[in-house]
Amino acid sequence: MAPDIALKLLQGAALTALCLLVACGSDGFTAPPLVRLPPVVMPPVTAETASSAAERVYYAQTQETLLASGLLRTDGGGADAPFDADRLATNFLKIALYDEYDPALNGLVQQESASTLGRWVQPVRVSVQFGLSVSVQAQATERARIGSYLTWLSGLTGHPIGLADRRANFVVYIGSVDERRALSPLIAEVLPGLPDDMMRGVTQMGRANFCLVYVNSDASGVVKERALAVIPSELPDLMRLMCLQEELAQGLGLGNDSRQARPSIFNDDNEFATLTPQDELMLKMLYAPELRPGMSDAEARPIVKSLASRLMGGET
């Protein structure tokens, strides 16, 4: 079985409790205080640690295995992975209006549950933070790649999304296994009140979870306010690209994964490493003005079907 790629913030009671600590207004949404990004205190890095070296070897072997199996595709699919308007609508509803984790269960127990449509209202201001183990050259490369991707996401969604040196509300952290173990201060600043088990999901993240994103919503649970994505620096380039593309896109509101979604990066089978044409259309749909945060499956379904038909070139 292929490893799960992402973890999403639990909805429901845990979500509301978290919201109470980040200044949610009585009207359901007040822009939260923006992240001040304290430095992560780490000892000087003089050489790769044994634990980080082991992670690097493991992930390199994992990427080789996935590629040898025909996975981690970057072609977006083709004749072997067709989809039509009905399939697009079905996949969107499953990915945008369901959660991977049931709020009735304690901890990060994976079990799909019905949710409502959620997305950002405020501009998404992304700060990219690195551990000291990441070289200056690698930092520049990743920041440029992420910036380009954010520009693309903004164009797809029509929502303001971009890099921010300060006053960020979406933090991407790239660091080694040793540095991730020391991330508690940053996590507490970005997502104050995060439950202990979810904190450990970052500081003790296992190899099976290549990367993760946590998203905090307002009191209504439907307006995204803050997010933290964590990417191991030991990942080889293609797997790191996969993590960056999926976690940033899922952080925008496409929070679920579905094994029926194909071609799509929102599928735990790891067939695709980069967003596919269907994923691009789902991002367009997520921020379409016809939809609004808080819509249930029943409310959104007729609108989604109409949007899917229009985007695929059919009649609405």
Segments of the chain with pLDDT less than 50: 1-44, 103-105, 107, 315-316
Which pair of tokens denotes residue 132? 């000291």
Exposure string over 231-248, b if 16+ CB within 10 A, otherwise e: bbbbbbeebbbbbbbbbb
Which pair of tokens denotes residue 236? 């080889």
Q: What is the pLDDT of residue 46?
A: 54
Distance (Å, whole) CA 65 – CA 20: 44
Q: What is the pLDDT of residue 166?
A: 82
Share of the chain above pLDDT 90, in %: 74
Q: State pLDDT tens for residues 118-166.
A: 999 999 999 999 999 999 999 999 999 999 999 999 999 999 999 998 8
Distance (Å, whole) CA 202 – CA 216: 15
Q: What is the DSSP letter of 2?
A: P
Q: State pLDDT tens for residues 8-48.
A: 433 332 332 232 222 222 223 233 444 444 444 444 455 79
With both helix axes pointing from N to C terminus, report the angle between 277-286 and 136-157 in degrees, rounded to the nearest 10. 60
The secondary element (H helix, E strand) that includes residue 114 is: strand 110-114
> Could you tell me which of 172, 173, 247 has the C-alpha nearest to residue 213?
247
Q: What is the pLDDT of residue 45?
A: 53
Q: What is the pLDDT of residue 13?
A: 29
In words, the CATH class of domain 13-39+78-311 is alpha beta
pTM, full prediction = 0.84
Q: What is the pLDDT of residue 314?
A: 67
